[in-house]
Amino acid sequence: MEPSKNETYGSQEYWQARYREPGGVYEWCLGYAALSAYFDRLLPIRGTRCKSDLKIVMLGCGNSALAEDMYDDGYRCITSIDYAQNVIDAMSARNALSRPELQWLQADVRNLPLPDASIDICIDKATMDVFFAAAGSKLDPWNPPASVIENCNREIDEVVRLQGAEAGRLLHLRHFWAAALPKASHDTTRLDNRHV
């Protein structure tokens, strides 16, 4: 169900319609099998904390199995956020018995309902791409304007814990962030299939 115009990706109605039909999972980018070794190398840098204690938020989770797979591998404190209430309800129901510690929350990532400095790691697989595409067909998603980047990162900066040089990590799974995000106030890592 791909829209005829990229701007449609920015519509909450589009995402509600996309997830209206019950179904399995869909990965926009790489799945956990391709990312697990990289996560194991990257995520424990948060000091002495073990992975079961890391507070992780998945931005724009959709019906991805990433949170489920990470949970099964020992990450326990994961909050998955999406714009579409119906996918949050479906994923919550899917995991209620088998992964009871997973949290599912309907929210707009530009207005995160999380306490300041409450998260260690933010993971974005493709949510920021949506904002670039939705900003208008005249925008070049490979060279987003600074205002779009600032808008996308403002809330994340607030909720991610700052720990000196080990400021919270925002994992972006798209290569065009390489140019855009080193200027952000928190540490960022971009992953795509060339980095795994």
- Mean per-residue pLDDT pooled into runs of 10, the chain (196 residues): 72 79 76 80 60 85 94 94 93 96 91 82 75 58 64 69 47 45 45 42
What CA–CA distance (Å, rounded) separates 172 from 42?
13
Neighbours of 14 (CB within 10 A): 18
Closest CA to 82 of 98, 70, 101, 66: 66
**Predicted pLDDT of residue 39:** 73
Please tell me the pTM assigned to this model. 0.76
**Predicted pLDDT of residue 69:** 95
Contacting residues for 175 by C-beta, under 8 A, at least 6 apart = 190, 192, 194
**Predicted pLDDT of residue 165:** 36
Q: Which CATH class is domain 6-190?
A: alpha beta
What CA–CA distance (Å, rounded) separates 96 from 116?
27
* Count of positions (residues) in the chain: 196
What CA–CA distance (Å, rounded) separates 67 from 153?
21
**Predicted pLDDT of residue 170:** 54
**Predicted pLDDT of residue 194:** 40
